[in-house]
Amino acid sequence: MEKWHPTQQIGVGEIMTATEVANGSPAGRKFFWLAVGIVLVTGLYSGGWFLAADQIEKRLPGYLDENRASGLSGECADMEVRGFPFRIGLFCDKVRLDDRRHGASASFGALRTAAQVYQPGRAVIELDGPAEIRFSPGVSISADWTLMHASLKATLSGVDRTSLAYDNLTGTVRSPLIDRALGFGANHGELHLRQNGEDLDAAINVEKLDLRLEDGPSFAPPANIAADLTITGTAEWLQGSALSPHMLRGTKGELRQVTLDMGDGMSARLSGPFSVNGQGLVSGEFSLMLNSISAWRENLVKAVPEETDLINNVANMLAALAGGKDEATVKLNVRDGTAFLAFVPIGVLPPL
């Protein structure tokens, strides 16, 4: 039997080495150099990605340590950089932040971040609960959620815009100003911030907000709240500067719209310019639109029975201004935290 040899099926002249490809036909040379280029680019890209990941893992702890002297510190437990080949992101099992300058601290669960390599100015972030946040003197917030994620767009000058969304948020607020902790919850919420020149635009949306004293009944039916406003001269807040519990003090802006929907036809809308003085007291001239005055009266009397006389007086005044209708649009003046309706004080706003 004749012995089989590979050259009987593939001609010897058809077998080409890499050198022959490079030195042979123009098409062969192009293929060879294309393959070489792909290998080089892949190698350089891979090396660059792992170098960047290594620098993040080495430099971030050092950066946090350097800021410790200025009163800022943080911890990213079990830090790891992942995402190769097309993403790069920081992962931590736990996150802790301390700001001794303002007497604030915070701790969270796992952190996951990701940015596309070809779009490093855009990033997405996921943060797990539970969270413990403390402000001096004696204010603490405990919170948890099923999902919290954020996105941001940055330029060479810093963060240009950012968004935050969460689902099934629950928690409590404790303060020396209140005897019992205040409980809160929301099915869903969003916060959107963007620079608008030197100003800051903000949009807020909260679905089914529920407020109650700890272990007590809700103050009112769950409410849907939406707000759209501009705060003058505060665009630098997106760079993380001047952030504190009282950062709104000394600011002014425009409240384009705040809406409150309590269900069963009860809704309210507020708009107008505002300012906050150095003590955190709000002033402004607002337009207030209120639907279903009778339902507001009934529910507020149930929620705060000790203010029944005031609630009835305000409701009667609104009905009179509305010509007997069950909805009204009136001017609401707020001066140094006290709200007036037609020169009659109807409430005091707490300092911000």
* Residue 96 confidence (pLDDT) above 70: yes
Determine the pLDDT at residue 208.
Answer: 94
Structural domain includes residue 334: yes
Section 255-268 average pLDDT: 90
Percent of all residues in the chain with a pLDDT value above 70, rounded to a whole number: 80
| Number of independent structural domains in the chain | 2
Structural domain includes residue 81: yes
Structural domain includes residue 306: yes
> Residue written as tokens 């190698």?
43
Structural domain includes residue 263: yes
Cis peptide before 305 (omega within 30 of 0): no
Question: 325: domain range?
Answer: 249-352
End residue of a domain, out of 96, 122, 148: 122
Section 90-94 average pLDDT: 89
End residue of a domain, out of 72, 95, 122: 122
Structural domain includes residue 240: no
Structural domain includes residue 158: no
* Of residues 106 and 346, more confidently modeled: 106
Phi and psi at residue 64, to the nearest 5°: -65, -40
Confidence band of 170 (pLDDT split at 50, 70, 90): very high
Structural domain includes residue 214: no
End residue of a domain, out of 122, 149, 176: 122
pTM, rounded to two decimals? 0.79
**Structure tokens that stand for 316 in this block:** 């009667």
Determine the pLDDT at residue 244.
Answer: 67
* Of residues 210 and 65, more confidently modeled: 210
Structural domain includes residue 92: yes
Mean of per-residue pLDDT scores for the chain: 82
Determine the pLDDT at residue 49.
Answer: 53
Q: Which range has the worst mean pLDDT, 2-16, 37-51, 219-233?
A: 2-16
